[in-house]
Structure 1
């Protein structure tokens, strides 16, 4: 039983705050166009990488993927509001692993969340 002064302690199911992803390096130097192409390919095929399966769940899964895409493309405060409002459960604070309210898993690669350390200018 809690009281007015109670607070969540370590280990409680409090929502995780989204944090900036750790720096990453692509195996080879990569241009902005190549990075954008990788991101487009991921988002086009994302429903095959997680979420709920079945026709009756396709709308809910698309909603979660759309929310994750939006969250990946904005600053942290707005990303937090997006995941909170859509019921996304953040397992990894950098958004690489999330779940929906029914427990379906959604995994995001680093390249859709942040810039690589070896991004090069196109010549």
Structure 2
């Protein structure tokens, strides 16, 4: 229920959630290898629950970050994630906890060093 202007009333009316999109191109401060990028990502995801919020939401955000856009949209919608920035760099859960994702977990930098054989 709620008054006509409340967010709950708008959500009951079938208001659309923000559609997510690919992050804008970005460059790391210096060229990095895929192995370095992977290490940065693993370190972030290993420590993310310590930034606050719910472990389940962090897990859903990781799954979304590693999925294609259509599946990522389904994941964030199913988890009840409120997307503030359409590239997933800033999200909230339904309890008001903030989740900030660095660009390096969402996409590759433009200055990624391609190692031979890749």
TM-score range, shorter chain: 0.7 to 0.9
**TM-score normalised according to structure 1 size:** 0.80
**TM-score normalised according to structure 2 size:** 0.83
Report if the CA contact (8 A) 1:68-1:83 is conserved.
yes
Task: Please name the residue that 2:41 is paired with.
Answer: 39
Distance 2:114 2:94 in 1: 41
Q: 1:50 Cα deviation (Å)?
A: 3.3
Secondary structure at 1:78's aligned position in 2? helix
Report if the CA contact (8 A) 1:32-1:119 is conserved.
yes
Secondary structure at 1:94's aligned position in 2? coil
In the alignment, structure 1 segments of 5+ residues that lack a partner are 1-7, 52-60
In the alignment, structure 2 segments of 5+ residues that lack a partner are 1-9
Coordinate RMSD, CA, aligned: 1.7
Task: Please name the residue that 2:5 is paired with.
Answer: none
Secondary structure at 1:98's aligned position in 2? strand
Q: How many pairs align?
A: 104
Distance 1:50 1:118 in 2: 31
The C-alpha deviation readout for 1:11-38, integer Å capped at 9, x for no partner, is: xx64110000001100000000000000
The partner residue of 1:94 within 87, 105, 114 is 87
Task: Please name the residue that 1:25 is paired with.
Answer: 27
Task: Please name the residue that 2:60 is paired with.
Answer: 67
Report if the CA contact (8 A) 1:19-1:76 is conserved.
yes
